[in-house]
Structure 1
Amino acid sequence: MMNNFEDMQKLGKENMDIAMESLGSVSKSMQAIAAEVADYQKKSFEEGSAAVEKVAASKSLDKAFEAQSEYFKTAYEGFVGEMTKLGEMYTDMSKDVYKPFEGVMGKMSK
């Protein structure tokens, strides 16, 4: 099958190219995920600060509980939405990482 050194070199280069392409996909995806997490943290902190101010400015205990409940509801919904989005980003990353290896798997099955 691989009778000479040139075939081995070619196979080694192809495998290295595939690995580098896959690592490039991981790097790009992880940067996007890190940016998304940073944006969410900033937004969450701002919303939390605004909620604390709203609770502190409440004139009655009922209004304070209402403001707090409203914040908890929106914070929970935002968290679930963000985790769903991050899950999709990780799924997309795994698909992108696997793509370069699809051709190799096809060659191996023949």
Structure 2
Amino acid sequence: MFKVEDMQSYGKEQLESAVAAASTVQNGLQAIASAYGDYTKKSYEDTKSFVEKLTAVKSLDKAIEAQTEFAKMAYETFVADSQKIAGLYGDLAKQAFKPVEGLVAKFAPAAAH
């Protein structure tokens, strides 16, 4: 038989878990948005620098060299930042499902009996 106190305690636990999960999700989304912002800012600055360098070039060979360097750097930056952002999404998913894992662990032994 359930007691009212047990139900209140369970409800309180669930509310606290939901608040903690929401806070975690919010922090994770802020980190992801910040990472996207950092990437965008760096990409803009790198492109601006490339355009300035390209306008100062006097020969076609130097222009091709500058373009090649820029393309390589842009690709490397994209890959590195994409991996960073993917890691942030993975961390967010892990943190968001922690309350569910706790709930499952709490009831899994009871279901096994």
The answer to whether TM tops 0.5 is yes
Query: What is the aligned partner in structure 2 of residue 108 from structure 1?
Result: 107
Q: C-alpha displacement at 1:84, in angstroms? A: 0.6
SS of 1:39's partner is helix
- 1:53 corresponds to which letter in structure 2? E
Q: Distance in 2 between matches of 1:6 and 1:58?
A: 78
Alignment map for 1:21-40 (pairs within 5 Å): 21-40=20-39
Question: Which amino acid is 1:51 matched to?
Answer: F
How far apart are 1:62 and its partner, in Å?
A: 1.1
- Number of residue pairs aligned between Structure 1 and Structure 2: 109
C-alpha separation in 2, matches of 1:72 and 1:101:
44
Q: Over aligned residues, Cα RMSD in angstroms?
A: 1.2
For residues 64 and 103 of structure 1, the distance between their equivalents in structure 2, rounded to whole angstroms, comes to: 58
The aligned residue for residue 89 of structure 1 is 88
Distance, in Å, in 2 between the alignment partners of 1:99 and 1:38 is 27
Secondary structure, aligned partner of 2:58: coil
Question: What residue ranges of structure 1 are gaps of 5+ in the alignment?
Answer: none
Superposition deviation, residue 4 in structure 1: 2.7
Give the whole-Å Cα distance in 1 for the aligned partners of 2:65 and 2:44: 20
Map of 2:66 onto structure 1: 67
1:100 positional shift: 2.6
Where does the alignment leave 5 or more consecutive residues of structure 2 unmatched? none
Residue 17 of structure 1 is matched in structure 2 by 16
CA distance in 2, matches of 1:73, 1:38: 21
The question of 1:52 aligning with 2:30 is answered no
Partners in 2 of 1:107 and 1:38 — Cα distance? 40
Looking at structure 1, the residues matched to 18 and 104 of structure 2 have their Cα atoms a distance apart, in angstroms, of: 14
Q: C-alpha deviations, 1:8-45, integer Å up to 9, x for none?
A: 22111111111111111101111111111111111110
Distance 1:98 1:21 in 2: 11
Percent identity between the two aligned chains: 45
